[in-house]
Chain A
Amino acid sequence: MEALIALTIGVMTATGVYLTLRARTFPVVLGLTLLAYAVNVFLFAMGRLTIGQPAVIDAAAAGYTDPLPQALVLTAIVIAFGMTAFLIVLALKARGELGNDHVDGLHQAKDEQTQTKSNQQGAKS
């Protein structure tokens, strides 16, 4: 199970990093969201994985999971939302001011070609 969780964290990190390095604002926001997921799950896993032992005090409970990483991650999730919201609005503002959605404010990067009709059809099929 630990290996499976580690793998999912790794995949989310890799996909997050790849999208974060893209040139347009929307994929970057998606990438940062994925990275935030990865970091949250990573932090959570630092308390080790426990099944069926929530940290709610109960005389009948056999044991408790580590509540500290959970408290940290809970606020991290909310902060990550705040950050995502701020970023995406920043992206909107940049689009409004600069007229495009490139992260550097360029109209068109050298290594991009506009999505033509044929490309779209290629993507559809």
Chain B
Amino acid sequence: MVKAGIFLLARFFPALSGTPEWTWLVGGAGLITLIIGAYTALFKHDLKGLLAYSTISHLGLITLLFGFGTHMAAVAAIFHIINHATFKASLFMVAGIIDHETGSRDMRKLNGLLKYMPHTAVLAMIAAAAMAGVPLLNGFLSKEMFFEQAITASHASTLAWAIPLLVTIAAIFSVAYSLRFIHDVFFNGEPIDLPKTPHEPPRFMKVPVDLLVFICLAVGIVPMFTVAPILAVAVAGTLQTTPPEYSLAIWHGFNLPLLMSALAIGLGVAVYLVRERLFVWHERTLGRLDARAVYNALLLNTLRFAVRVSRGFDKGSLQHAAVWLIATSVIAGVIGFMSMPAPLFGEREMLAVDAVSFIAAMALIIASILTVVLHKQRLVALITIGVVGLVIALGFVKFSAPDLALTQLSVEVVTIVLLLLALYFLPQSTPRETCKVRLTRDVVIAALSGIGVTLLTLAVLTREFTPISHFFIENSVPGGGGTNVVNVILVDCRGFDTLGEIVVLALAGLGIYAMLEGMKLPAPTKDVYGRVWDEDHHPAIMQTLTRLLLPLMLLVAVYIFLRGHNLPGGGFIAGLIAAIALIVQYLANGIDWTSERLKVDMHWSIGLGLLIATATGLVAIGIGYPFLTSTFTYLNWPLVGKFEVASAIAFDLGVFLVVVGATVMSLVQLGRLSYASHHPEQQEIK
């Protein structure tokens, strides 16, 4: 478990190592862990505590090696992983044996166990010596490699000379605590006040330790015949390239690493000899430091800071959040403009302005501004925004987009009716805002957004471009069987997209239904100026006319639908027209009258539409083509003449049904709300 992180480091080593960030973060963490672990281990009186901090220290050592980032360092790290595993496992087992046989792990009580359990004592001594880095044991080999790498790393910068010094200090403590593990437990007088009389453990508790200690010795004495093949495999696996040349020899001559080892052993023994005084000093000073408290406080403060930052951005207010969102996008846009090397505007030739377009554009601009100025009078704002939508529809007519014009026009009608119905239940006017700072800020953000979007649009429109639409224009008739390219794109080329969009529309319709189901709002009896609403809900002239017009309107819808593949029209537009035709009936004749005659539940329309659209796609899969592949053929009908039939029209029928269903359902549900609010005694109207 403890080496899981090390494993991850080793796996990431080929991809991430070699950068300064890696060296500083990984190496730094390793060095700090190495020193703190080695220092703390010496002052632990619990056997397992000592070993645990020693493990921390050795993990730091391995991390530091990976942090160096060189291939040789990685070899040393992997070698030390293997060695540490063998000697530390045996030491933990020894600690377990001692605990089991004496009933204590406290080194202040455990003394002179050599004569009670000589076999275990020998095993512990060898393993601890390996941990200390005594020659002829495996720990010595990888520690020498580690020292060598530390010296190599010391050439990196002017401050790096401290690395060999610091690792030597850590090694001194490592020797000292290893020595303590042996001397304090197996020598140093007689046991004090142990719960059990110590004796050798049963045979099978010793066998695993025997094996591991044997490996420590074997690797330490004849590395080439023992660990070399395993190490080669592990190194190749970690580095993912040709491993560097490395030597596992025990004797490299008199060199700096050997000197460091000697220093560590010599000074480590010295430190151990003065341990009593060190313990006293440690108890008075560093021992009082409660690392857990520091850690908890750090964690708590980090969390508090995070909470404060998020509170600063999210005050539980939509207005506040919207300001952040829009202001950020404005700033991002400004940065985008600033970093654009090319001139803002291109060289493309512009179209000439004609008087009609100019007047229409001015009407749109004035209506937009009026919407803002008069937004406190909600009904007026609704009318002006309707003007904006209608001018946009005219614009689509002007700029060769008849499909868009038809869609915009019908959507506009439905939207305004919907907003009117909803406005009935909302306050008729908006309270006046008094905070000048907020209003100024919003005006500035709005103005910047407007200017930014204008410049962006101009920057694009003044440049030449190469559209990818040739494909659609060329393949519309031969591939899709329709001359209206926009409709062919919708129902054929990008049919899957359209399927997603009608699903969204269906969900919006169902969501509206669910939200309004059973809801009752207080209906106002007077308008904003105190005038009473007209009692005549269904004027006779309107009733008669709309009833006469219904077949005609539906006929138009069918016509628009059928011609959609070849001329402006299609499922979306036809659906909206049919929806308007039905909504007009509800408006003119009331919900009761219309529901009695139109016994179609709009849920069915939505469901059937989605089913048909999806089925069109599935049929294609069924006969071995990709989802939503369409086909078409030409039929010769008497009287009508040559007539094209495309399978995409089935898909378009699905679109039509979903649009009709979702639109009518939303508006009728809103109308029901008003009915329920006026007739509180009648709970449910079917």
Contacts and interface: CB of A to CB of B under 8 A. Distances in A.
Interface of A: 1-15, 17-30, 33-34, 37-38, 40-42, 44-58, 64-68, 70-71, 73-75, 77-86, 88-93, 95-96, 101, 103-104, 108-115, 119-120, 123
Contact of B521 (A13, A19, A92): A92
B357 interface: yes
A78 B454 contact: no
21 contacts: A2-B457, A2-B461, A6-B461, A10-B454, A11-B365, A14-B446, A21-B319, A28-B318, A48-B461, A48-B465, A51-B351, A52-B400, A65-B400, A70-B403, A77-B407, A78-B505, A86-B508, A86-B512, A88-B422, A91-B422, A95-B426
B196 interface: no
Nearest to A75: B501
A65 B486 CA distance: 10
| Residue from B398, B399, B483 having most chain A Cβ neighbours under 10 A | B399
Contact of A82 (B365, B467, B509): B509
Contact of A74 (B400, B490, B519): B490
Contact of B431 (A14, A24, A123): A24
A80 B408 CA distance: 11
B309 interface: no
B583 to A, nearest CB: 12
Contacts of A13: 446, 449-450, 453-454
A14 B369 CA distance: 9
A5 B659 CA distance: 30
Interface stretch (B130-138, B376-384, B637-645): B376-384
Contacts of A92: 422, 425-426, 515-516, 519, 521, 670, 673
Interface in B395-448: 395-396, 398-404, 407-408, 411, 414-415, 418-419, 422-423, 425-427, 429-435, 438, 442-443, 445-447
Contact of B504 (A55, A82, A114): A82
B441 to A, nearest CB: 9
Interface in B484-499: 484-486, 489-490, 494, 497-498
B332 interface: no
Contact of B401 (A17, A70, A85): A70
Given A21-B322, A82-B504, A55 B486 contact: yes
B123 interface: no
B520 interface: yes
Contact of A55 (B484, B519, B529): B484
B462 interface: yes
B685 to A, nearest CB: 18
B389 interface: yes
B357 A19 contact: no
A74 B486 contact: yes
Consensus secondary structure, chain A interface: helix
A113 B432 contact: yes
Contacts of B178: none
B568 A54 contact: yes
Contacts of A28: 318
Contacts of B438: 111
Interface stretch (B41-49, B472-480, B551-559, B596-604): B472-480
Contacts of B322: 20-21
A85 B569 CA distance: 23
Given A92-B426, A112-B432, A44 B445 contact: no
